[in-house]
Amino acid sequence: MIHSTYYRDMFGTAVMRAAFSDEARLESWLGVELALARAQVRARVIPAGVDERLAAVATVDRLDQDAMKVEFDRVGFPILPFVKELTKACDPETARWVHYGATTQDILDTGMVLQIRNGVKLVEEDLRGILAALASQARIYRNTVMAGRTFQQLAAPITLGYKLAVWLDELLRHHERVQQLKPRVLVGQCAGAVGTFATLGAKGLEVQREMMAELGLAVPPITWHTARDGWAELVALWAMIGATLAKIANEVAILMRSEVGELSEPFETGRGASTTLPQKRNPIACEPIIANAHRLREMVGSQLSAMVQEHERGVGQMHIEWMVVPESFVLLSGSLHHARFILENLVVDADAMRRNLDLGGGLLMSEAVMMGLAPKVGKAQAHHLAYAAAGRAMDEGGTLREALLADHEVSALLSEAEIEALLDPANYLGSAPAMVDAVLARYEAMGFAA
């Protein structure tokens, strides 16, 4: 689906697909080979000038990709046909030193890290947009009262700003995780067949340092050919972010329900239309976010499987990563794109929120009533009185207010004005607005604009 001309923009973005396209992959391999040559020239492993001559021909258009594909299908290793085509583009003297002392996995892994770096930048861009949208909406709706729900039933009042700030706080932690992850993932390597630099002898570590400086990547303390925890952490984090976005999408979809109507995706003519039901405005952007989250979760298991490798080079685990890592980026890009669209243009119906607070005759204020009675008669008795009044209201089809006023024991403890105050949702928000402020302060303290 992520490559289908018809479906692909539902599940991923064009810019992220481009970051992991064949063209981008070849560009990354060329960049790694050129950085290797430059490092070896500086370390006096290969003759001066080889790197400059290689730079003049190391372009994708000089590679016969059709010939590479035929050769790849035959030999089964992707770098050998690539190196063959690259050397064909070089003069004989330069060709002697191409891929000198390196192994296939060095180029594949370091090339993938370059693609990962570009992908992470795209993830961060959309994530920052989502954070900004949530921060703005949380400020606007800091005091907009709505029903809080537990077990999908009305529970007690909250504010929309509080709900949004909960999402914002969670995504701020994900942003922190991305920053913490980068030093562990944006690391290259070029250490030869078993990772010991034997082909380069005493110059190996120097060449790797120079090479990573050229590429702007960190230098590993030891070769990580079979140590794949960094990439497993990456895929797991993408799945976590995807799950958070799916939670948000699921909430928006539920609150779009006809009988709720409190939040909605942005609408434009024809969007979310049904082929049979003309009145429908379906939660179209929410659906792929939720679907992608399930796929991303499954990819974590696959990437964990890729960690289990034998000796100094495993059999088949690299191939798992070739499938999992790019697809995880593409799917996350789709989720981020749709979530950003929803949250930057979120439709809020405060009147519907107010109406829903009154559903069931104000029964969601039962806890407030109980806590208003508790200082007078103790928590247990207060619970009994509020529970009994709520039960009568439900059984008789009346309101909680009517049931409380008709209860002589309650009316002996609370005046009508006190009962009215306890039944006002705006009076029972606890520290919700203050917690919104705390999350917004954290957002700003992390360097995001107010």
Tell me the backbone φ, ψ of residue 269, rounded to 5 degrees: -55, 125
Which residue(s) pair with 187 in the sheet? 218
Catalytic residue among 44, 96, 173, 274: 274
Q: Where are the beta strands (DSSP E) in 290-411?
A: 347-348
Reference 341, options 292, 268, 425; nearest CA is 268
Which residue(s) pair with 145 in the sheet? 159
Is 28 labeled as catalytic in the residue annotation?
Answer: no
CB 209 within 8 A of CB 197: no
State the Cα–Cα distance between residues 25 and 19, nearest whole angstrom: 8
The three-point CA angle 292-237-295 to 5° equals: 20
Q: Where are the alpha helices (DSSP H) in 58-148?
A: 65-75, 79-88, 92-95, 104-140
Task: Reduce the DSSP state of residue 254 to 3 states and report it.
Answer: helix
Catalytic residue among 209, 313, 354, 442: 313
What lies within 8 Å, CB to CB, of 448 at 6+ separation is 128, 131, 132, 135
CB 155 within 8 A of CB 147: yes
- Residues 375-391 as b/e (b if ≥16 CB within 10 A, e otherwise) read eeeeeeebbebbeebbe
CB 114 within 8 A of CB 32: yes
Beta strand 347-348 pairing with 263-264: antiparallel
Is 4 labeled as catalytic in the residue annotation?
Answer: no
Give the residue numbers marked as catalytic: 274, 313
